[in-house]
C-alpha cells in the first residue's frame, strides 16, 4: 500500500485521501464515496433508499426524510466531482418495493442523478431486481481496469471494490469511545462505508472482515474534520 | 366533613390492643376521611406506620363487607383496592406485611402482587378472578389498562393507594401513573385515592395529583393528613482528628471510623451515592474486618437472588451492616437499623432526611445518623445539610409537567383497550395533574404522532397505527400494533443492561474464555462500551477483568489479587447538588465567621483561599485564571450542580475555541468547572476587559446551545429515551442486542435526519423539554447566568488556588469532557505513524 497523503484542500470541503488500490489511483471522499479519477467514475455503496418506509410498514414510523437526505448528499458530491459514470454498489434500495414507494420529489431527484451521467446499479441482496423505470443499467458486477466492483465481497485475494458490510471503526481511549464510518483497505481490496442516512454499521473488528484482509487493513475513518488513517491494531470491537 | 374516629372498629381494635398498639391519630383521621369517600394525602416521616394507615380503610371496608355478605363467595367481589409502588420489591414487601393482620384477624381478604415476575397463568387468573387487593407497579397498571378487559376488571374498584408518591411524581413513571389514574377515574367513577408520601416542600402538588383536575375535578385538592415529625433526628458530622483530602470521593480516611461505628451499633446502613462507591467501601471495610463482622452489600445491579439473600439476612437481624445505594432509599422496612451513615455528599436536604428515616422505624425515638464527608468541599456541603435539617427545611424537587412522549405511549395503550373519541380522551388526560395545562393542539399532535409519526411529509398514511373510523372513534390498526405496544410499554429506558458473567480462561488459549459461568449481576451497556479487554473494575465486591461482550453478557474473569481497578470507580452521583443546598453552601462560604465551626481542615483551607485568591460575596461568580504545567486554566465556582456545570463546560469550550484560546478539555463537579487551554486566558482577559462577561453571557443558551445540541451525546441519549417511550422505535429486550446491522437502527441517525428536516417535531420538543431539566439542566444554568450577570469577579493568579486544587485533582479521576472525537482519532492515527516509523 502506498502511504496516504491529503489532497490539496478546497474551500469549504474536507480534502479527500488519495491512495492506490490494485494499482489504480483512488480518492476516498469524506462523504463516503470513492472516486476513480482515471476512469471518471464515482462509486457509492449501500444507499438503502426507502429504509424508513420499509421499517414503517412494520410499525416503526421513522422520519420519512432519509431518502431525500441521502439523495441530496449524493447529488452534492456528484456535482463536485462531475463523474462520467456513477456505480452504486448494491443495496441501493432497502427492499424490492423501495422503488415504488419513492415520494415524487425523491423520484425526481433520483431521475436527475441517473440522467446526469452514465449510471450503473450493481444489484445487492436487498435489491436483487430493480425496475427499468429507475433509469441506468442494472448489472451483477462491473470491471474497471484491474478492479471488479461488486456488492458482496468475493472470497479469496481478489482486487475489488465492494460494499455490503457497512464498516465502522471504533476507537476507545482514555475511557471515551468514538465510532465512525470507514473505508477498509489492504491496498488490493477496499470495502466502502455505507452511504445511506439510515444505514447502520458493522464493526471493523467483526469476524466477517477477517477473511477479506488476512494481512490486516488500514481503516480510513470519516472523522468530523478530516479522514483519519488507523491501523487495525488500534481499533476496538463493540 | 369527616369527624375523626375515636377508636377503630372491631376486630381491628382488638388486634391493635393484642399487639400493645394504640391507633395513632393520623391513622384514625385518615380512616374517617376515607370512609367519607374522600381522597387523602398522608404526609409522614418514615416509621409512622404510614403503609398500615394507607390500607386500614380498605381492610375495614372489606372486613365489614365480608360480614354483611354473610358467607357469599368472597372471590366474586371483584377488585376493591389497587396498591401502586415504584418498586417491585416494595410491592412484594408490603404484601407480605399485610398478610400478618389479615391472618391474625382471620379476615377473608385476598392480597396478591402482580409484577414483571408474575407467571402468565397467574396473570390470567388475576384478571378473571381478581383478588380484593392487588399490589403492582405503574408499568403493570398501564398494561392492565391497555387491555380489553380493563373496564370489567376496574369497573368496581373503590380505592387506589399510591406509595412513595413523592418519589413517583418527579419522574416519567409519575406521568404514566397519572394518566393511568385518570383512566381509572373514568372506569370507576367515585374512586378514592390515598397517597403516601415522605415530607415534601409542596404538599399541594401531590394533593392535586390525587384527584381529577379541571372542570370535572372535585375542587382540585385532596384532603391532607400530616404527621408531624416525631423526635428530632440525632444527626452529626462524622469527624476525624485530621484534615480531609482536597479532592476525591472514596472516603478511605473515613472508613476506620465507620468500621468502629458499625462495631458499636446493632445494625448500620451505610449509604453511598454510587454503585462504584458502594463496591469500594464494601471491599475496604472487609479488608479491615478482622472480627469478620457480617457486612453485606446491596445495590440495584446485583443479581436478584443475592439481593434477596441480603434482604432476608437483614430482616432476620443477622447482619451488622449493609453498604447500599439509593435502591434502599425507598421505604422497605429493614427491621432494627439503629444507625445510618451517609458517606459522601448528601446532595439535598430532603434526600438526607429520607435516608436517615431508614434508621429506627419507630418515630418516637430519635433517628441516629452520621454524615461522612470525603473531601473538603463535602465538609461545606454536609455542614449546610445539617443546618437545613436543623431548620427542618425541605428541598424536594417540583413535580413535572407531563411528557409528550409518555402521553403518546398512553394514547396508543388506550386505543388498544377500546376505541376512543379524541375530545373525551383529551378531557380525561387533562384531569391528570401533570397534563392539566395540555393544549388541544399538542394533544392533536400527539394523536397524529401515534397514528402516522406526525411528519410534515405525509408519507405514512397507509401504515397508520391507529385509524379514525366513520364513527369518529380511533381504533388500533390490528393485533400486531397492540402486541408492539405491550412489548414497549413503560418509561424506564436507562440503557440496555448486560449480565455480568464470571467465566474462566480457556486452557492453553490466552485471551479466549468459555462463555458460560455464574451471573454476578448487571451493568449498563454504556459502562462496558468504555472498556477494552484487560481493563479491570470492581463489581459485586470483587475486582474483575473485562474480557468481552458475548450476546447479552459481559464476560469477566477474576483479576489478579494485586490488580488495582483500571476503570475509575467514581462515576459521579446520579443526583446533582440541590439548588437549595447550593445556596446554603455559597452562604457558608461567604461568611468567614462561620468557618471556625468547620472541622477537618476546611476552615484553614478557606482562609488560605482568602489570602491567595479571594472568596466571592454572595451572588458573585469567582473566576480564577492561572498557568500550570504549560496549560492555562480557567476555574469558575458556580455551585449549580454537576449536570448544569457539564453543560456550561461544553458551551464555554466552544466560546474559548472561538476566541482562539485553544481549549483542550474541562472537568466539572458539583461545585464548579475547570477548563484548560493552550493559550493564556488570563492575558486575553486583561487585554479585553469585556471578555469574561461575554464568555459567561446569557446568549450562550441561544445559538451556541442549539449548535451544541446537534452533536451532544447527552442530547442524543435524551432523544433516544423519548423515542423509545413514545414508541417510535422498539425497545431492545435482553438477548436481542446486536442482531445485525440492518435490523436495528441507530437513533443517532434518526436524530440527525429529523433535526435537519423537521426541527419542530413532537419528539424533538419532548427531548428538549427533558434536556432543560434532566441531563443537561439547561434551566438551572440559565438561572445562574442571569444571577451572575455583571457580577463576575476575575482573579488572575500566578498559580493554582486552594479551592482550584480540589477541582484540578478531579482531572483523571472524573471523565474529562469535550467533543474531542477527532482528537481521539488523531491520537489513534499517530500510533499508526509511530508503528510505521519504528
Domain endpoint, select from B170, B194, B226: B226
Mean pLDDT estimate for chain B: 83
Band (pLDDT 50/70/90 cuts) for residue A4 is very low
How is residue B296 written as a grid cell? 453485606
Band (pLDDT 50/70/90 cuts) for residue B518 is confident
Answer whether B681's CB lies under 8 Å from B836's CB. no
State the total domains in chain B. 5
What residues of chain A lie within 8 A of the CB of B757, using their CB? 63, 65, 68-69
> In whole angstroms, how far apart are CA B725 and each of B71, B78, B136, B234?
47, 32, 20, 43
Facing B745 at nearest CB: one of A62, A171, A221? A62
Query: Is B482 in the same domain as B527?
Result: no
Does any CB of chain B come closer than 8 Å to the CB of residue A158? no
> How wide is the angle at C-alpha B157 spanned by C-alphas B155 and B159, nearest 5°?
150
Band (pLDDT 50/70/90 cuts) for residue B360 is low
Query: Is B618 in the same domain as B648?
Result: yes
Secondary structure class of B248 (helix, strand, coil): coil
Mean pLDDT estimate for chain A: 90
Query: Is B344 in the same domain as B471?
Result: no
Query: Is B68 in the same domain as B205?
Result: yes
Domain endpoint, select from B463, B488, B513: B488
Query: Is B114 in the same domain as B159?
Result: yes
Identify the pLDDT of residue A11.
Answer: 58
- H or E segment at B747? helix B747-757
Residue-wise pLDDT for B23-48, tens only, equals 888 899 999 999 999 999 999 876 66
What residues of chain B lie within 8 A of the CB of A66, using their CB? 753
Domain endpoint, select from B488, B518, B549: B488
10 Å CB burial of residue B673 (0-12, 13-18, 19+) is: buried
Facing A234 at nearest CB: one of B738, B752, B828? B828
Question: Mean pLDDT across the stretch B279-292?
Answer: 90
Identify the pLDDT of residue B361.
Answer: 54
SS3 content of chain A, % helix, strand, coil (to 5): 25, 35, 45
Query: Is B59 in the same domain as B198?
Result: yes
DSSP B732: P
The answer to whether the Cβ–Cβ distance between A61 and B738 falls below 8 Å is no
Give residue B767's region: left, alpha or beta (phi > 0; psi -120 to 50). Answer: alpha
Q: How far apart are CA B351 and CA B349, in angstroms?
A: 5
How is residue A19 written as a grid cell? 491512495
pTM over 0.80: yes
The complex scores an ipTM of 0.88
Is B832 contained in some domain? no
> Considering only CA atoms, which of B414, B398, B42 is closest in space to residue B223?
B42
Query: Is B213 in the same domain as B246?
Result: no
Q: How far apart are CA B407 and CA B401, in angstroms?
A: 11
The answer to whether the Cβ–Cβ distance between A180 and B753 falls below 8 Å is no
> In whole angstroms, how far apart are CA B746 and each of A62, B91, B551, B721, B749?
11, 36, 18, 12, 6
DSSP B188: S
Identify the pLDDT of residue B74.
Answer: 47
Does any CB of chain A come closer than 8 Å to the CB of residue B459? yes
Residues 6+ apart with CB under 8 A from B480: A59
Q: Tell me the residue range of the domain where B451 lies.
A: 404-488
Does any CB of chain A come closer than 8 Å to the CB of residue B822? yes
Percentage of chain B surpassing pLDDT 70? Answer: 85
Is B397 contained in some domain? no
Radius of gyration of the CA atoms of chain A, in A: 17
Residue-wise pLDDT for B144-178, tens only, equals 999 999 999 999 999 999 998 988 888 899 999 99
Is B767 contained in some domain? yes
Q: How far apart are CA B580 and CA B582, in angstroms?
A: 5
Check whether B1 has a pLDDT greater than 90: no
Is B599 contained in some domain? yes
What residues of chain A lie within 8 A of the CB of B532, using their CB? 172, 236
Is B802 contained in some domain? yes
The answer to whether the Cβ–Cβ distance between A175 and B567 falls below 8 Å is yes
Strands of B661-783, DSSP E: 663-668, 673-677
Q: How far apart are CA B408 and CA B392, in angstroms?
A: 40
* Distance in Å, alpha carbon of A39 to nearest chain B alpha carbon: 30
Strands of B487-575, DSSP E: 497-502, 518-524, 536-539, 542-550, 553-558
Least confident range of A44-48, A212-216, B276-280: B276-280
Q: How far apart are CA B425 and CA A89, in angstroms?
A: 50
Query: Is B683 in the same domain as B796?
Result: yes
CB atoms within 10 A of CB B418: 16
If one compares B837 and A99, the residue with the highest pLDDT of the two is A99
Query: Is B619 in the same domain as B691?
Result: yes
Domains defined along chain A, listed by start: 15-234 (3.60.21)
Identify the pLDDT of residue B357.
Answer: 67
* Distance in Å, alpha carbon of A132 to nearest chain B alpha carbon: 24
> Considering only CA atoms, which of A199, A207, A88 is closest in space to residue B742?
A199
Q: How far apart are CA A150 and CA A87, in angstroms?
A: 10
What residues of chain A lie within 8 A of the CB of B529, using their CB? 172, 177, 238
Paired strand residues for A189? A160
Nearest-Cα residue of chain B relative to residue A55: B743
* Distance in Å, alpha carbon of B55 to nearest chain A alpha carbon: 42
Band (pLDDT 50/70/90 cuts) for residue B708 is confident
Is B838 contained in some domain? no
* Distance in Å, alpha carbon of A126 to nearest chain B alpha carbon: 10
Query: Is B468 in the same domain as B362?
Result: no
DSSP B560: P
Residue-wise pLDDT for B762-774, tens only, equals 999 999 888 877 7
Query: Is B315 in the same domain as B416?
Result: no
Query: Is B599 in the same domain as B737?
Result: yes
Does any CB of chain B come closer than 8 Å to the CB of residue A75? no
Does any CB of chain B come closer than 8 Å to the CB of residue A233? yes
Identify the pLDDT of residue B406.
Answer: 97
Is B340 contained in some domain? yes
What residues of chain A lie within 8 A of the CB of B481, using their CB? 59
* CATH number reported for the structural domain that contains residue B62 in this entry: 3.40.50.300
Is B567 contained in some domain? no
Radius of gyration of the CA atoms of chain B, in A: 28
Secondary structure class of B30 (helix, strand, coil): helix
Residue-wise pLDDT for A133-174, tens only, equals 888 999 999 999 999 999 999 998 899 999 999 999 988 765
10 Å CB burial of residue B836 (0-12, 13-18, 19+) is: exposed
Residue-wise pLDDT for B794-835, tens only, equals 999 999 999 998 888 776 544 444 445 677 777 777 776 665
| B-proximal residues of A, 171-190, CB under 8 Å | 171-178, 180
Residue-wise pLDDT for B607-650, tens only, equals 999 999 999 988 899 999 999 888 899 999 998 888 888 888 88
- H or E segment at B162? strand B159-162
| A-proximal residues of B, 528-547, CB under 8 Å | 529-532
Does any CB of chain A come closer than 8 Å to the CB of residue B453? yes
Does any CB of chain A come closer than 8 Å to the CB of residue B476? no
Rounded to 10 deg, the angle between the B422-430 and B404-417 helix axes is 130
Residues 6+ apart with CB under 8 A from A194: A32, A45, A46, A48, A91, A163, A166, A181, A200, A201
Does any CB of chain A come closer than 8 Å to the CB of residue B568? yes
Secondary structure class of B824 (helix, strand, coil): helix
Check whether A110 has a pLDDT greater than 90: yes
> Considering only CA atoms, which of B84, B2, B70 is closest in space to residue B35?
B2
Amino acid at each position: 500500500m502506498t502511504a496516504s497523503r491529503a489532497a490539496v484542500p478546497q474551500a469549504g470541503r474536507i480534502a479527500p485521501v488519495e491512495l492506490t488500490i490494485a494499482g489504480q489511483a483512488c480518492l476516498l471522499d469524506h462523504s463516503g464515496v470513492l472516486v476513480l479519477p482515471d476512469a471518471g467514475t464515482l462509486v457509492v455503496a449501500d444507499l438503502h433508499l426507502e429504509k424508513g418506509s420499509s421499517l414503517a410498514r412494520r410499525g416503526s414510523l421513522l422520519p420519512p426524510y432519509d431518502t431525500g437526505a441521502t439523495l441530496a448528499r449524493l447529488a452534492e458530491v456528484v456535482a463536485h466531482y462531475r463523474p462520467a459514470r456513477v456505480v452504486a454498489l448494491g443495496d441501493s434500495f432497502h427492499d424490492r418495493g423501495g422503488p415504488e414507494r419513492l415520494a415524487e420529489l425523491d423520484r425526481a431527484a433520483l431521475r436527475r442523478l441517473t440522467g446526469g451521467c452514465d449510471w450503473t446499479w450493481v444489484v445487492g441482496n436487498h435489491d436483487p431486481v430493480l425496475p427499468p423505470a429507475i433509469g441506468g443499467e442494472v448489472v451483477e458486477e462491473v470491471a474497471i481496469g484491474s478492479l471488479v466492483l461488486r456488492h458482496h465481497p468475493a472470497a479469496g485475494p481478489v482486487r475489488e471494490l465492494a460494499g455490503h458490510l457497512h464498516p465502522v471503526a471504533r476507537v476507545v481511549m482514555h475511557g471515551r469511545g468514538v465510532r465512525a464510518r470507514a473505508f477498509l483497505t489492504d491496498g488490493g481490496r477496499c470495502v466502502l462505508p455505507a452511504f445511506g442516512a439510515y444505514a447502520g454499521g458493522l464493526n471493523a473488528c467483526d469476524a466477517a472482515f477477517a477473511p477479506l484482509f488476512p494481512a490486516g487493513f488500514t481503516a480510513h475513518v470519516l472523522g468530523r474534520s478530516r479522514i483519519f488513517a488507523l491501523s487495525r491494531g488500534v481499533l476496538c470491537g463493540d | 366533613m369527616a369527624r375523626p374516629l375515636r377508636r377503630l372498629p372491631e376486630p381491628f381494635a382488638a388486634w391493635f390492643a393484642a399487639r400493645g398498639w394504640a391507633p395513632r391519630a393520623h391513622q384514625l383521621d385518615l380512616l374517617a376521611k376515607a370512609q367519607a369517600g374522600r381522597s387523602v394525602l398522608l404526609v409522614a416521616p418514615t416509621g409512622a406506620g404510614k403503609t398500615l394507615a394507607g390500607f386500614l380503610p380498605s381492610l375495614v371496608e372489606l372486613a365489614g363487607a365480608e360480614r354483611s355478605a354473610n358467607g357469599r363467595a368472597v372471590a366474586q367481589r371483584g377488585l376493591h383496592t389497587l396498591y401502586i409502588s415504584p418498586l417491585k420489591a416494595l410491592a412484594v414487601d408490603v404484601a407480605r406485611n399485610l398478610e400478618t393482620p389479615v391472618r391474625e384477624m382471620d379476615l377473608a381478604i385476598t392480597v396478591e402482587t402482580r409484577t414483571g415476575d408474575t407467571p402468565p397463568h397467574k396473570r390470567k387468573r388475576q384478571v378473571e378472578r381478581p383478588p380484593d387487593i392487588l399490589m403492582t407497579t405503574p408499568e403493570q397498571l398501564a398494561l392492565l389498562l391497555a387491555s380489553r378487559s380493563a373496564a370489567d376488571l376496574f369497573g368496581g374498584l373503590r380505592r387506589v393507594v399510591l406509595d412513595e408518591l413523592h418519589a413517583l411524581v418527579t419522574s416519567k413513571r409519575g406521568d404514566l401513573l397519572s394518566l393511568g389514574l385518570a383512566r381509572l377515574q373514568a372506569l370507576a367513577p367515585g374512586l378514592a385515592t390515598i397517597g403516601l408520601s415522605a415530607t415534601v416542600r409542596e404538599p399541594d402538588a401531590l394533593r392535586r395529583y390525587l384527584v381529577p383536575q379541571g372542570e370535572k375535578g372535585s375542587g382540585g385538592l385532596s384532603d391532607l393528613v400530616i404527621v408531624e415529625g416525631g423526635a428530632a433526628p440525632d444527626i452529626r458530622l462524622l469527624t476525624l482528628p485530621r484534615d480531609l483530602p482536597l479532592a476525591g470521593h472514596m472516603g478511605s480516611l473515613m472508613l476506620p471510623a465507620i468500621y468502629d461505628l458499625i462495631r458499636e451499633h446493632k445494625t448500620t446502613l451505610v449509604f453511598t451515592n454510587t454503585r462504584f462507591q458502594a463496591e469500594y467501601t464494601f471491599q475496604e471495610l472487609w479488608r479491615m474486618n478482622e472480627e469478620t463482622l457480617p457486612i453485606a452489600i446491596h445495590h440495584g445491579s446485583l443479581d436478584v437472588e443475592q439481593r434477596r439473600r441480603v434482604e432476608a439476612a437483614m430482616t432476620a437481624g443477622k447482619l451488622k451492616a449493609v453498604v447500599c445505594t439509593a435502591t434502599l432509599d425507598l421505604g422497605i422496612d429493614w427491621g432494627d437499623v439503629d444507625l445510618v451513615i451517609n458517606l459522601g455528599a448528601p446532595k439535598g436536604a430532603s434526600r438526607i432526611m429520607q435516608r436517615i428515616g431508614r434508621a429506627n422505624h419507630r418515630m418516637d425515638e430519635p433517628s441516629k445518623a452520621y454524615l461522612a464527608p470525603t473531601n473538603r468541599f463535602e465538609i461545606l456541603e454536609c455542614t449546610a445539610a445539617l443546618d437545613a435539617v436543623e431548620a427542618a427545611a425541605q428541598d424536594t424537587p417540583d413535580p413535572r409537567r407531563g411528557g409528550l412522549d409518555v402521553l403518546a405511549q398512553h394514547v396508543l395503550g388506550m386505543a388498544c383497550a377500546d376505541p376512543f373519541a379524541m375530545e373525551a380522551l383529551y378531557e380525561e388526560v387533562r384531569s391528570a395533574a401533570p397534563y392539566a395545562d395540555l393544549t388541544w393542539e399538542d394533544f392533536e399532535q400527539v394523536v397524529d404522532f401515534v397514528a402516522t409519526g406526525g411528519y410534515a411529509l405525509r408519507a405514512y398514511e397507509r401504515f397508520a397505527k391507529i385509524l379514525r373510523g366513520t364513527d369518529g372513534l380511533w381504533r388500533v390498526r390490528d393485533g400486531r400494533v397492540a402486541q408492539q405496544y405491550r412489548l414497549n410499554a413503560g418509561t424506564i429506558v436507562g440503557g440496555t443492561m448486560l449480565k455480568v458473567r464470571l467465566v474462566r480462561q480457556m486452557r492453553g488459549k490466552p485471551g479466549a474464555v468459555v462463555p458460560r459461568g455464574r451471573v454476578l449481576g448487571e451493568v449498563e451497556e454504556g459502562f462496558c462500551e468504555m472498556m477494552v479487554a484487560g481493563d479491570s473494575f470492581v463489581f459485586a465486591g470483587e475486582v474483575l477483568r473485562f474480557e468481552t461482550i458475548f450476546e447479552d453478557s459481559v464476560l469477566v474473569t477474576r483479576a489478579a489479587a494485586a490488580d488495582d481497578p483500571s476503570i475509575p470507580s467514581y462515576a459521579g452521583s446520579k443526583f446533582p447538588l440541590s439548588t437549595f443546598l447550593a445556596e446554603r453552601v455559597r452562604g457558608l462560604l461567604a461568611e468567614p465567621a462561620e468557618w471556625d465551626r468547620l472541622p477537618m481542615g476546611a476552615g484553614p483551607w478557606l482562609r488560605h483561599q482568602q489570602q491567595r485568591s479571594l472568596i466571592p460575596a454572595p451572588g458573585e461568580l469567582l473566576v480564577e485564571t492561572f498557568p500550570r504545567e504549560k496549560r492555562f486554566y480557567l476555574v469558575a465556582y458556580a455551585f449549580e450542580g454537576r449536570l448544569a456545570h457539564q453543560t456550561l463546560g461544553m458551551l464555554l469550550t466552544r466560546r474559548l475555541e472561538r476566541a482562539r484560546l485553544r481549549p483542550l478539555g474541562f472537568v466539572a463537579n458539583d461545585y464548579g468547572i475547570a477548563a484548560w487551554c493552550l493559550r493564556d486566558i488570563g492575558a486575553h482577559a486583561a487585554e479585553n476587559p469585556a471578555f469574561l462577561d461575554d464568555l459567561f453571557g446569557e446568549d450562550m443558551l441561544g445559538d451556541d446551545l442549539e449548535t451544541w445540541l446537534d452533536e451532544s451525546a447527552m442530547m442524543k441519549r435524551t432523544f433516544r429515551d423519548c423515542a423509545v417511550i413514545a414508541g417510535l422505535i422498539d425497545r431492545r429486550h435482553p438477548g436481542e442486542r446486536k442482531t445485525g446491522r440492518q435490523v436495528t437502527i441507530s437513533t443517532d441517525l434518526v436524530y440527525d435526519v429529523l433535526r435537519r428536516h423537521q426541527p419542530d417535531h413532537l419528539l424533538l420538543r419532548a427531548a428538549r423539554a427533558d434536556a432543560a431539566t434532566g441531563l443537561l439542566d439547561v434551566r438551572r444554568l440559565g438561572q445562574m447566568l442571569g444571577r451572575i450577570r455583571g457580577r463576575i469577579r476575575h482573579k488572575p493568579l500566578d498559580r493554582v488556588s486552594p479551592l482550584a486544587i480540589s477541582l484540578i485533582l478531579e482531572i483523571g479521576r472524573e471523565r474529562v469532557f469535550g467533543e474531542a472525537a477527532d482528537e481521539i482519532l488523531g491520537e489513534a492515527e499517530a500510533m499508526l505513524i509511530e508503528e510505521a516509523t519504528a
